[in-house]
Amino acid sequence: MSEYERRALVASPTPPAQQAAAELRDMADWVDAEDADVVIALGGDGFMLQTLHGMLERRKPPVPVFGMNLGTVGFLMNEWRSYGLEERLMRVRPFKVTPLQATVTAVDGRVHTLPAINEVSLLRETRQTANLEISVNDRIVMPELACDGILVATPAGSTAYNLSAQGPILPLGSGMLALTPISPFRPRRWRGAILTDRARFSIRILDSSKRPVSAVADQREVRDVARVDICMDRSRELTLLFDPEHALDDRITMEQFAS
C-alpha cells in the first residue's frame, strides 16, 4: 500500500491537461489539496512551478508533488500515463528542493518578499544597460556590472534560464548556487560564479532612475527596484516525486552531455 493514500488532482487549464484530468477523475477518489498526502499535477513546468508556489503560500507544510507532463518541455515532470498510478507512487524517488527567498526593495520604498524555486533574475527594463553593484555575504565583490541583467539559480533551476544564459549546471545535492550574468558588457569577460548555498547575495541597482531594473522570482515580477537581497529559505522545503527510471538528478546530469 502506498503512503500516498489521500491524493489531490490539479491540472493546467490547457486542453491536453484538462482532457487528461477528466480521464483520471473517474478512476479514483480524489481529495482537496489541503487534505492530501500527495498532489498529482498535470501540465508543464510552468504549471508545476505554479503548483509549488501555491503550496509555499499555504499555512500547512507542503506535501509531495508527482507531476505528469502535458506541456512542452516537462523537465520537472514525469511521463503522462493514464494507467498504473498506484504502482508508480509505490516506486517513486523523492527529491527535496529548497527555494530561494528574494527580498525586493522597490524605488518607492515598498518591500516584497518572494520565493523562487528555479531562479531570481534582475533584468533591465529599457534599452539602457543595467548597472549593478554585487555583494556576497555583505562584501562588495563587484562594484559595477554593466549588463542586461543577472540571476541566482538553484540546482533545480540551473538547467532553465540559467543554462540559456551560459550558466553552469549544478548537480542536485551539490550545495551550490549559480550567480550568472545576462549579456555582460563590462567587465565583458566575467562569466559568473558558483557559490555555496549558504551565501547571501545583495544586488543594488545603480542609477535606477535612468536605468530601471525589474526583479523576477520564477513567474512573479516587481518593477523599478532599488535593491534585491537573496538567500536560501531553509524553513520551506518542497518534495518532488519521480519515477526511478526518469529521476530529476539523472536528468540534470545528462543535460551536461546534451548536444
Determine the structural domain holding residue 39 and report its residue range: 7-98+236-255
pLDDT at 51: 96
32 is in an annotated binding site: no
Whether residue 228 is found in the same domain as residue 141: yes
Both 118 and 228 in one domain: the answer is: yes
Q: Judge if 87 and 105 occupy the same domain.
A: no
Q: Looking at residue 1, what is its pLDDT?
A: 53
Question: Do 199 and 77 fall within a single domain?
Answer: no
CATH of the domain at 86: 3.40.50.10330
Residue 209 and residue 136 in one domain: yes
pLDDT tens for 136-158 read 999 999 999 999 999 999 999 99
pLDDT digits (tens, 9 = 90+) for 219-242: 899 999 999 999 999 998 999 999
45 catalytic? Reply is yes
CATH number assigned to the domain comprising residue 202: 2.60.200.30
109 annotated to a ligand binding site: no
- 159 annotated ligand binder: yes
Q: Tell whether 77 and 153 lie within a shared domain.
A: no
Tens of pLDDT, residues 113-131? 999 999 999 999 999 999 9
User: Residues 6-20: what's their mean pLDDT?
Assistant: 96
In a domain, 1, yes or no: no
Same domain, yes or no: 203 and 117: yes
Q: Is 83 annotated as a binding residue?
A: no
Whether the pLDDT of residue 2 is over 70: the answer is no
pLDDT at 219: 87
- Location of C-alpha cell 551536461: 256
How many distinct structural domains can be found in the chain? 2
| 70 within 8 A of 16, measured Cβ to Cβ | yes
Q: Is 162 labeled as ligand-binding?
A: yes
Which of 29, 35, 37, 45 is an active site residue?
Answer: 45
